[in-house]
Every structure is written in C-alpha cells, then in structure tokens.
Chain A
C-alpha cells in the first residue's frame, strides 16, 4: 500500500462564512465515517456539531489552530500516525499534474501540512527500548 502503511489520514478543508470546515477526510480505508468525525468534534468542543451551517463539512472551526487541534484529536481517536491537511487551493495545486492514482497520495503528502501523532511516535520509542 506504500504511503498509507502508517494509516495516514488526509483532510481537505475550506473556508466558508468566516469559519473553516473539513470537506473530505479519508485514510487507506476510504472516507472516514461521519459518526466518528461528529463524535470527535463533540468531544473536542464539548458540544454537538451544528450541522445546519454547512451541512457538507465537519466544523465549524474558528481558526486554523482549532482545525489543527481537531486533526490531532482525530489522529489519536483513530490511532493514526499522522494527518495531512490541505486547503482546497493546495489540493488543486497538488493534483493538477497528477495522472495516476499511485502519485495522487504522494503529491498530497508533499503539498500538505503534516501533523504527527506524537503519542504513537512515543510508543514506538518505548517499544524499541523495552523489547
């Protein structure tokens, strides 16, 4: 599988009416299910996700910082090593000259901002020491 051996999550976000929203979130198993995304949002903000504002996205996030924090939470929930996030504009740049699906994810990885799940990294270090 290559790029997704570590179960990387990819997220594409947009800016709509003064807030950020994730419009696509997927990993090696495809699109992430809405239940997990909603539950992570609710846990993160301690409120239910208001779905009427922009019903086709996960959010709202008032800042990029909040978006990044949510992304990290998602990594922890799904025990993924990292999440790569891209704005719509960055996504379009990334895929503009990609013509096969093998290079598609590689290009997203190169153009996106990667947020590492340090907990998983930490576990690996401890595993290496104690095994």
Chain B
C-alpha cells in the first residue's frame, strides 16, 4: 500500500527540531512512515509524555487504551529503521506540553519564575502552555508511581533503549535555569519545611537563615535536593535503561522570550547568539519551540551542525547503544570551568569564581566558544578530557574531588586551582603530595601568589583568587594571558567582525590524515545582514587540510593567513590538521 508523504507542516509538528519525535502528535499507524521520512540511522529523541500515559490515579496507559501510548511499538519501529531511540523521562515540567506534562488530576499549583510570574511558554503553533510545580508532594508521588509503571512496562516489553532524565529549562542572562527554579507558593511552603528541619540544630533565639547569602545557599541546596529526589526515583526504577540526567535548554522559552514570541518579534540573530552561549554550558540546546519559518539560513545550519551533529551525539553517548556514525568526537573545549554555585538568583550580588577572577571574560575574548562551564564534576575515567584545562574553585574541593584531581594530574592533565576558600586540610594534602612525590614546584607573584607544579605532562597551577579578584580588569587579563601560555594550549586566534559566530569541533581523522595529532573543523557563520570578514593567521602547527562547500562565502590563502569573506547569511567550514609545537 502506497503511503502518503507527510506535508512539510505535519513534519515540523511531529519533528519540531534536532530529531525530537513528538509521538503523541500523530497516529501510531503512521509512526513507521514518518520515521522513515528522516532517513536511516538517526538518533531520535523521544520525550515521554507523562500526562498522555496517565489513565487515572495509579493506572497507566501503555497501549491498553490509546494506541499512541504504545512505546514498545515505537521503539521497535525506530530500531527496525536503523534509528537509535533515546527516551527522555521528564525530571521537571516540560515546556512543550500543556501543564508541563503533569497529569490533570495532580496539577494544582502553577510554577512561577524567580520574579513570581507564572511560567508560560509558546509553541511553534502559538499555543501557550502553563507549567505546574514539581514541588507538590502529590506530583512527586504520582511521578514515582508513573516511573515505576514505566519501568515494569519496559522490562515486560524488553525495551533496552536508553532512558535519560530531561532537566528542562531555559537560558537567560547567561545562565541556565531549569523549570525546577520555581518560586511558587508551593515552593515557599516546602522550603519553609526544609528550613524548619535545618533549624533544629540552631539555637532557638538565633535568626535563621542569618543572611540573604545564607538563604540563597539554602535555596540552592533545597532545589538540588528536590532534583536529586526525582533523579533518584528514575535511577532506582529504570536501573537497566537509566543513563542519567541531561540538561536541555529550549530556545525561545525564557520569560523574556515569551513576550518576544507573543508579539512575534523574536528573531534569528538573537536565537543564534543564545545558541552559541548555550554551547559553552553543560546543556543541550533544543529548538523545538521555535517555528520552522524562523529556523532558516544560518540558524538552521548552526542547529544541524552544532546541535544535531556535535552536541547531541557527545551528550547522548550511551553505554547501551554505541553510535559510530558521527564524524565528530565532540565540541572543542580548551578549558573546562567548574563552579558548583552556578545558579544565581536574580538580584543576587554573588558572582561565579570565574567572573570574579576575570577568567570567563578572558576566555570570551581570546578563546570564544571554546570553553565550557559546568556546575558539577562527575569523575569518570572514560569521560575525562585531557585536551582540556580543568579549572576548579577551591570552595568546591572536597576529599573525593581532591583525589580525582590528583589522579587527573598524574595522568597528564592540566589543572588551574583557585585557592581562595580552599579547605585548609585539602591545601595541606596538596602540599604533602608535592613533597612526597618530589614534584617540581615554582612559586612566584604576578598580581597574586601563584604556585606552579609539573609532573610529566601534568601541570597544576594554584593561584590566590581572593587577591586577583580585587584587581582591575586589565591586570586580570594580563594575569590570564601569562598564565595560559605556560599550559601548552594549542589554539588558532581569529580576527572577526562583531556578529560573526564560529565553532570548533574535534573531528576523527581518516586514513589520509594520520600524520596529524589532531584534526579540527572550524565552522564560521555570519547571521548578520551585512558582509563581514574573518582573518586566520596561519601559525606553525596548524595546516589547512580542506574547506567545505562555502555558502554565500569565499576564502583566499595568502602567505601567512587565510582571509574569509562572508556575505549575509554566509557560512563556511575549514578543516585543520594540528601538530604539536
């Protein structure tokens, strides 16, 4: 029987971006036809629609009533077509489903943003969704019951595809906020209970929390505890399929974006800029809330090349399914900045360590989009990136992290450590480690105290961030310029115009490229409405291997540089082979 091809509009509704498949938006009889339309061997992201599967309290629909709830069939069909299904179980309200995906029976209190405004999101069809709070004990209990039923269903149907936990959120003012960043009345009630438990250890006549700063830290701790509750529930029930939580930030989903979206004034340049900022955080961008008509030209290329072909394969690298189809081993991250207190409340004066010490500003200028900021450190020897300089804030170092840092150093890793607020015991242990292992250390002063230690290829640089933070910006910049030169960071500086965006990716080499130690691809984009130029000075250890098909762009090579001309909406990619200096 000949199947009708789906219309472009239908396609965009069911596949709204980056191979997300919203299975409930089409009949289950058409799943196979629709999944076949995207080719073969794709990583399909399937967000589980909790509300869809909720039949009544304690009872769930997995193909017992609605055919669209047949996840086993969906999984089979996807695998039959050579795809890699990745299920996403919601750990927060979902901005692409009405009520945030919370079943109607338990949706009582709407979630609000830090300013008290109800979270509202706009989908590509201009429908408005309100999100319900996950701080409701009824919601949690219902979630627990649902995940247990889901796990039993997966086991009974022998579904072995990976299940990830979707921490859904948005990006605003340079930060990722999950929808668990909820300040509804329900949050405040639950937080008050949390405080009263903590207060049991405080003298009765003492105010608690004692300061705004302490209150913010407690809010952060409470929110993290709630997140862990939802994560733990999934980990326990879905154990054999469970891969862990993953942060997903939706373009066009911030409270600011809502007003731009309802007035139809959101634009692709803003989305493009936000996308590049997102790429420097430990999050996966998603464009499924943006209409297809906005995802054209350069933005579409960026979403395909950076998100679909690079960030998603790197993040969804599963222990269950192995994917060798991607050309890229991941985004190039020359620096990994760890700062555990990376969620800031509006109006807070707190700043990240890497803002206070000027490193973030320095990296934005000298190594744009070639760094990543993470708010947790999960040591896993399979995922340590020895090509990246790891930067730690002393306040985050506990016994476990200290041991991992030493292991990283001994394996040839490069580390920068801010000793401000470093625990004195840990500081003593580091000093003892240097002495006991006869490690060469050099102490000097350059705008602050610095200690430099080398162990083979491994390097650790300790500096006093408390002193450095008091210096002017130019001094901080000078400090980082000098310090980074000692770390053998191989990088090609680029001269570019104001709206140019670019992204480096590490590429697997092919048999003709085995002479290079590394191969990198540089993607250049011009999302602006005017012609722009980019210059790349050719330094000794970079060799241009090839250029991809230019789109509204061209390049020329001169003696010591490559000159690129990008027309409005233009893009080009260049592959470089790299030798050690």
Contact = CB atoms under 8 A, between A and B. Distances in A.
B350 to A, nearest CB: 11
B260 A26 contact: yes
Contacts of B160: none
Interface residues of A, dominant DSSP: mixed
Interface string B489-502: 00000000000000
Contacts of A58: none
Given A56-B346, A105-B262, A24 B256 contact: yes
Interface in A9-65: 10, 12, 14, 16, 23-24, 26-31, 52-57
B261 A31 contact: no
Given A56-B115, A91-B117, A92-B112, A100 B263 contact: no
Contacts of B67: none
Most B CB contacts (10 A, CB to CB) among A14, A52, A104, A105 go to A104
Contacts of A10: 259
Most B CB contacts (10 A, CB to CB) among A16, A23, A27 go to A23
A45 B130 CA distance: 38
Contacts of B129: 99
Contacts of A5: none
A88 interface: yes
A26 B263 contact: yes
A25 B263 CA distance: 12
Interface in A42-96: 52-57, 88-89, 91-92, 95-96
Contacts of A101: 122, 126-128, 261-262
Nearest to B349: A52
B348 to A, nearest CB: 8
A88 B349 contact: no
Interface in B239-291: 255-256, 259-263, 265-266
A117 interface: no
Interface string B114-144: 0111101010001111100000000000000
B581 interface: no
Most B CB contacts (10 A, CB to CB) among A27, A30, A31, A96 go to A30
A31 B259 contact: yes
Contact of B263 (A96, A98, A105): A105
B117 A30 contact: no
Contact of B117 (A12, A52, A105): A12
Contacts of A55: 346-347
A31 B113 CA distance: 17
Contact of B347 (A12, A16, A102, A105): A16
Contact of A24 (B98, B122, B255): B255
Nearest to B118: A92
Interface in B81-136: 98, 110, 112, 115-118, 120, 122, 126-130
Given A12-B117, A92-B116, 16 more contacts: A23-B117, A24-B117, A26-B259, A29-B265, A52-B349, A56-B115, A56-B173, A88-B116, A98-B128, A99-B127, A99-B128, A99-B129, A100-B126, A100-B128, A101-B261, A105-B263
Q: Which 8 A-B pairs have the closest CB atoms?
A: A30-B265, A56-B346, A30-B260, A26-B259, A101-B262, A101-B126, A88-B116, A104-B262
Interface of A: 4, 10, 12, 14, 16, 23-24, 26-31, 52-57, 88-89, 91-92, 95-96, 98-102, 104-105
27 contacts: A12-B117, A16-B347, A24-B259, A26-B259, A26-B263, A27-B263, A29-B263, A30-B260, A30-B265, A30-B266, A31-B260, A52-B349, A54-B347, A55-B347, A56-B115, A56-B173, A88-B117, A92-B112, A92-B116, A95-B118, A96-B118, A100-B126, A101-B261, A101-B262, A104-B128, A105-B262, A105-B263
